[in-house]
Amino acid sequence: MRDFLKYTLATIVGIILASFLISIFSVIIFSAIISMSDQPVQVKDNSMLIIRLQEKVVERTNKSPFSDLDMPGFSSSKQIGLNDILASIENAKTDDKIKGIYLNPSMINAGLASVEEIRNALIDFKESGKFIYAYGEALSQKAYYLVSVADKVVLNPRGIIEFKGLSAQRNFFKNALEKVGVEMQIVRHGKFKAAVEPYMLEKMSPENRLQTETYVGSIWKQLLLDISASRNLSLDELNDLADGVATFRGAEFLLEKGLVDTLKYKDQVINELKVMMDVKESKDIPAISIADYSEVPHIKKGKGFVREKIAVIYASGAIDMGGSDDQSIKSDKLSRTIRKARRDSTIKAIVLRINSPGGSAYGSEVIWREVQLASEVKPVVASMSDVAASGGYYIAAAADTIMADKTTITGSIGIFGVIPNAGELLNDKLGITQDVVNTNEHSDILSLTRPMNSFEKNLLQNFIERGYDIFVDRVTEGRNMSKEGFENIGEGRVWAAENAKEIGLVDLYGGVNDAIELAAEMAGIEEYRTTALPVLKDPLEELLKDLSGSARMWMLEKELGEYAPIYQQLKEVKETRGVLARIPYDIQID
């Protein structure tokens, strides 16, 4: 009887607690829905636009009102779209209420090409004659690259600037796999296709080291060229500072060497800004964040409603390799979007915005086909973001023109397959045996518990070779190249945009806005509006998706912490099917 009462009481308490949580949860949801109908954000006169870039920078903003909620069941990381950042800077240029821009970043969660586009937008903003004022306390290399464009760069007297050069590091798993009894059977084409090297080698191959040194060196050179132009420092001076690790030299040293203009505390910065903006000392500076400013309706001057459109079609993430729709490219969905844009008579040109390391070779072919068909009836411009490599380049190959930022990573024209053999792990290490009944000689091909025989290896190698030949055909036909000597371009080699342009893989430098202008010029139209595709889901749809997928990821992040992304990568591997056209690794250059 005592146990019965104990369990009954526990059940009642549980029901009450659950009801209480559901009530709070409902209030939050209802408040978020109500907020969707709030009045537009207003900009005060004599305002300053603040750019901190604390959020993760993605290709375009998720407009769901639930995206910023930090609680179980919802995505916890705040995001802002590069599209909104660029549009806000462009609008601020002609907005009489905005007197200048205040840059105050620290660690920027964005790729280098995205930062480059923001930086170029700020350079364009300076033509308005309005000020750009930057202040930092601890600036990463990306953050300094961005703020170096400012009219005035101010550092806290105890502040630091990370300035040490770029580093690309690789992990190799060959020895660990051997210890647990797993053999990774590799089938690939391309001596530079280094995605499989972590399973084969203990360090980089000479080819992989060469390509890594080339593209990392090219990107570093571009960063230095841009900083040199803004700060009037020579490349030699900047390299000397990096060699000496300016990060830990102190603020006075950074001032002496010309990386910053002056040293001030935050209160002194605020006072200086008040003087610049003619704000009384007793008053606060009218300011607006870039996230809020992006919500302000901006009326562009024109001839009324414009029917003709430029479609900007976003292709972000790995191709057909798991993940939610906003984290990966679903080939069927994206190809359908391109097909609809091709058939829409009001869409006069297409900009295919690519930020992808590649993925499924088959999925890449499906998308490539629709890009090719679209290019036969209207101009198609491929706009490369941080990375457009392997399958990401595959889908760009049929475009009329390919544009890239100077810090974009591209190329990696090659394919591979990896078939693990865990027979030793299961049989010898764990004592798990397997018996098989086949109807035909190779019915259990690609088994995870036995090695491939010579027939099967040759069969798969020939399959890979045919896939690579098709990939090369797509590129050489789209780029009007000869196959002769293509091994110097292909073979899975990764290129920085500077080198890719030299060898003909890229036509022009420029960001997404440059690509839109070029597409309009190619279409012969002056008055147009842009439409972003695929259409983002309704916020309530996003809520339902968050409740199912994000709640699970939230729990995993709480348990796994910094190892949660590794789980996501393993999940992608588990869901991967077929041969891959993917960049060697998730490139993160620090």
The catalytic residues are 193, 390
* Distance, CA of 310 to CA of 508 (rounded, Å): 19
State both tokens at 244. Answer: 């000496």
Reported as type and span, the H/E element at residue 137 is: strand 131-139
Q: Which is nearest to 583 in space by CA: 372, 442, 390? A: 390
Please say whether the beta carbons of 163 and 258 come within 8 A.
Answer: no
Torsion angles phi and psi, residue 148, rounded to 5: -60, -15
DSSP character string of 89-112 = HHHHHH-TTEEEEEE--SS--S-H
The DSSP output letter for 397 is T
313 Cβ contact partners less than 8 Å away, ≥ 6 residues apart? 334, 337, 338, 341, 350, 351, 352, 353, 533, 534
Strand partners, 532: 312
Q: Which amino acid type is present at position 315?
A: A
* Distance, CA of 18 to CA of 269 (rounded, Å): 49
Please say whether the beta carbons of 81 and 122 come within 8 A.
Answer: no
Strand partners, 533: 313
State both tokens at 173. Answer: 């798993």
358 Cβ contact partners less than 8 Å away, ≥ 6 residues apart? 318, 319, 364, 389, 390, 391, 392, 393, 394, 412, 580, 581, 582, 583
* Distance, CA of 359 to CA of 321 (rounded, Å): 6
State both tokens at 388. Answer: 């457009």
Strand partners, 580: 360, 416
521 Cβ contact partners less than 8 Å away, ≥ 6 residues apart? none
The DSSP output letter for 300 is P
State both tokens at 217. Answer: 């060196």
449 Cβ contact partners less than 8 Å away, ≥ 6 residues apart? 421, 422, 423, 426, 427, 434
